[in-house]
Amino acid sequence: MFRDMPKPAIVYLIAIVIAGWSALLSQLVVWESADIVRFLLYVAVFVVASCLKVWLPGITGNMSVNYVFVLLAILELTLQETVAMVAVGAIAQMFWHSQMKPRVEQVLFNVAGLVLAAFLAYQVYHSPLVSGAVHGNSSLLVASAATVYFLANTFSVAGIIGASESKSPLAVWRECYIWSFPYYLLGGAIAAGVAAVNRTVGWQTTVLALPALFIVYKSYGLYLTRLEDEARHAREMASLHLRTIEALAAAIEAKDEGTHKHLERVQTYAVEMGKTLKLDKVEIEAIRAASILHDIGKLAVPEHIISKPGKLTHEEFDKMKIHPVVGADILDRVQFPYPVAPIVRHHHEKWDGTGYPDGLHGADIPIGARILSIVDCLDALATDRPYRRALPLRDSLAYVVSESGKSYDPELVTILARNCEQWERKARSSSMERVKLETEIRVGRGNSPGAGFQESPAIDTNRGAEKDFTAHIAAARQEVQALYELSLDLGSSLSLEETMSVLDIRLRRLVTYDSIVILTKRENKLVPVYANGIDSPFFSHLEIPLGEGLSGWVAETGKTILNGNPTVESGYLRDERQVSALRSSIAVPLQHPDGIVGVVALHHAKAGWFTQDHLRILLAIAPKLALAVRNVENYQQARKGASTDGLTGLPNARSLFLHLDREVDRCVREGATLELLVCDLDGFKNVNDNSGHLVGNEVLRLIAGGFQAVCRSSDYVARMGGDEFVLILSGGRQSELDRIVGRLNEVVAEVGRKACETSTLSASFGAAWCPVDGTDAETLLTTADRRMYESKRHKKTRPQPENSVPKGARESLITLLRSVADRDRPRIHLEKPKAAVETKD
């Protein structure tokens, strides 16, 4: 229907219909026929010829061999008879074996077009001017009429097809009709021959032209069949390239799941912009393919860079910048019938020449690359990415417009701004089907490779520029695998030494180096926690102040060093006569959300050995290593806090029970002895009341330090709680008990005099021996505690301090602490020797 046709097609159709039907009606009004029988015979033969039609390849149209009889009618019939015959034949041609029922406007147009062509050809043949120009030569007159009929007939059809199907009318005419011109000339010759015979024998011989027409019709069919075969081959080749494109696009999608919608929008925008610029078919097909494949070079970029949820570092961006070059190298091997590779290579060039990889500027950038660049940017801004949310389309367009003349071709920016909303609706309504690669396939057969399992080779990242695209892709895959394994290993251990050793092993698969040093931050200096390789003994004893040397500068500034001089490391070469074998260093800060926790430094014996790829890999590892270091430190601190008294630094009650259980088990197993001493401070409540709790805390710390100084290194001093301490004296030195207690009392009295300026602070002690007093911790603690309170009563001092736990509740407290210890400790229960039991009895 008219409403389905573009406006130019409607205008063109109306013009042809008015012209053709005007010519027809004007002649029917003045109808005349010299011989009605001859006219009817010509009409019958013309209808038969009109039914001998062939379908044209590539368009929705057909043609017949009836033009021979049109030319014969021009030679022998009147103008009225000619246009009437053509009108009847046109209707027969449309309805005979039609693939679909013609619409009214089609009937009107086809009749008008054929009548108009016949009218013009008749005028040319019978024109005195034309006859005079060719000096009355009948052959030239027939050729002129045939040419005019051919041009008028084919151009009218090519025009409506081009206007209706958004194709160039001239291109349609060249593709579908120009080949038939020799047949029109041949038809003119046949018509002239038949006319000559008719003048000699009679017009009845006209039917003898039908066999000749049938031969022409069959030659039409053979020729068009060959054309159709070639067209089918071309379609198959195009389909092959399309499937290649789809397969490569599926590979991109397997690498980056977020590319599918991105490719749909980019393709729609890019193709529509190419059509708006009236680019030829080859250029548009190249843009269509490039819009799908422009990111295929990302196969050579590690996934952790592509999907990084944050801004890329300079080193990561350097790696990302190889993707247009790698993509162009891949597509060069495909041998597309249109120039895809240059578009892919240059789609990150900028109008002002600041783009990459070749720094082209202005019109030097291929038009396809300029189109792809601008629509790729618009879509990237309007699409969700791992590092930000999508911008509204109008804001994305505003940014692109702001870059007009700098990053993008100003003419293309204007076209995009004018058509953006229309193209966006078309992109949203389109539904490109994409084959998704199955990545969860598992093959059950095959036990092992023929040569057995082998470690993956180290990745050569030193001379990346010399690799072809396959090496880049392989290196990216190996890097991702190595980083994945390293991430798993870094979180699998809470031992700092073990974590650093795993890092060393895994890192050597990614970077080649001769020495590695990992330092952690301790207040205002760096302390090595792991060193391996050349000069590792020297590195392992360094203590580097922040800001000094290579690592100290990195830790203080948070910046990296690439190919620095290792000999400047603070304290590395203490003797000027020493010569280092190391010539280049790379150092990266271990950055944690809490701040810099350390530095990892690699050294090599070659100067300038390390590359930007090495730095990028270290920067990718550094956050994971920093987190692992902080986790280990937090674990060690928590472990220490769980077993250490926070005030005095002595073992707490939980550690006391665990240690006492082990010592008792050892004594029972080996027949050894130990002495347990319980101490409670007398007068400590007065210290808190008179001097404050801060002073009381300081008293407890000083006493704890004094007790440790009195005891041997093999003895064990713990804080039970409050102002009560427990000492485990190995070796059972019962004979020295009075001397030890005396020295401990001196410590308490001295602390009291210094901290409180009073001599009222003293201590009460109670002792128990294993195995004499018991062979388990509860019995020994209860016995020592009872004797300590007996000592208090004998001293006849003031009432029991409120800090101390009443005697009736102490056994409950001991039982509770025992249950906690039993739950947390691994313990081997052994049968007690009979001698120890008999001694106790």
Distances (CA, A) of 190 to 153, 204, 215: 19, 16, 12
Q: Which CATH entry fits the domain spanning 476-640: 3.10.450.50, 3.30.70.2190, 3.30.450.40, 3.60.20.10? A: 3.30.450.40
- The predicted pLDDT at position 401 comes to 92
Q: Which range, of 67-81, 377-391, 711-725, averages the lowest pLDDT?
A: 377-391
* pLDDT confidence band for 350 (50 / 70 / 90): very high
110-138, pLDDT tens digit by residue?
Answer: 888 888 988 898 888 888 888 888 777 78
Q: Average pLDDT in the 338-352 region?
A: 91
3-state secondary structure 608-622: CCCCHHHHHHHHHHH
pLDDT at 261 over 60: no
Cβ 12 vs Cβ 163: under 8 Å: yes
Please report the pLDDT score of residue 142 as a whole number.
85
Q: Which helix (H) or strand (E) holds 525?
A: strand 525-533
Reduced to 3 states (helix: H, G, I; strand: E, B; else coil), residue 278 is coil
Task: Spell out the residues 6+ positions from residue 119 whose beta carbon is closer than 8 angstroms to its own.
Answer: 20, 23, 27, 79, 82, 83
Query: What CATH number does domain 644-840 carry, 3.30.420.10, 3.40.50.720, 3.30.70.270, 3.30.200.20?
Result: 3.30.70.270
pLDDT of residue 602: 92
Write down the CATH number for the domain with range 256-429: 1.10.3210.10
In contact, 684 and 804? CB cutoff 8 Å: no
**What's the pLDDT band for 441 if we cut at 50, 70, 90?**
very low
Say which DSSP state 579 is in. -
On the question of a common fold for 476-640 and 644-840, the answer reads no
Least confident of 90-99, 519-528, 641-650: 90-99
* Per-residue pLDDT tens over the stretch 178-211: 877 887 787 778 778 777 777 766 655 555 555 6
Phi-psi region of 547 (alpha: psi -120 to 50; beta: other; left: phi over 0): left
Closest of 177, 187, 208 to residue 145, by C-alpha: 187
Q: Which tokens is 622 given?
A: 């550094």
Spatial distance between the Cα atoms of 730 and 675, rounded to a whole number of angstroms: 7
pLDDT band at 828 (very low <50, low <70, confident <90, very high): very low
Inter-residue contact 534 to 517 (CB < 8 Å): no
What is the per-residue pLDDT across 362-397, written as a single tens digit (0 to 9) for each? 999 999 999 999 998 898 888 766 556 778 888 889
22 vs 733, more confident: 22
Contacts 24+ apart (CB under 8 A), 646-650: 647/697, 647/700, 647/701, 647/719, 648/700, 648/701, 648/704, 648/705, 648/719, 649/701, 649/704, 650/704, 650/708, 650/717, 650/718, 650/719, 650/725
Indicate the domain borders of the chain: 2-230, 256-429, 476-640, 644-840
Residue 681 scores a pLDDT above 80:
yes
Q: pTM for the full model?
A: 0.45
The percentage of the chain sitting over the pLDDT mark of 90, rounded to a whole number, equals 7
Asked if residue 835 has pLDDT above 50, the reply is: no
> Contact, 92 vs 50, CB < 8 A?
yes
pLDDT band at 817 (very low <50, low <70, confident <90, very high): very low
The 3-state DSSP class for residue 726 equals strand
Order of strands, edge to edge, in the sheet holding 515-522?
544-545, 525-533, 515-522, 595-604, 584-592, 561-564
In Å, how far are 467, 474, 615 from 471, measured between CA atoms? Answer: 6, 5, 20
Q: Which of 238-247, 653-662, 719-728 bottoms out in mean pLDDT, i.e. has the lowest?
A: 238-247
φ/ψ of residue 110, rounded to 5: -65, -45
> How far is residue 411's CA from residue 778's CA, in Å, rounded to a whole number?
91
Dihedral-angle region of residue 565 (phi above 0 means left; psi in -120 to 50 means alpha; beta otherwise)? beta
Strand partners, 769: 675
pLDDT in tens, 605-643: 888 888 888 888 888 778 777 777 777 766 666 666 667
Place of tokens 């009836």: 66
The answer to which of 138-147, 197-206, 361-370, 459-468 has the lowest mean pLDDT is 459-468
Residues 6+ apart with CB under 8 A from 746: none
If we measure between CA atoms, which residue out of 306, 329, 330, 303 comes closest to residue 317? 306
Q: How many Å separate Cα 257 from the centre of its chain? A: 7
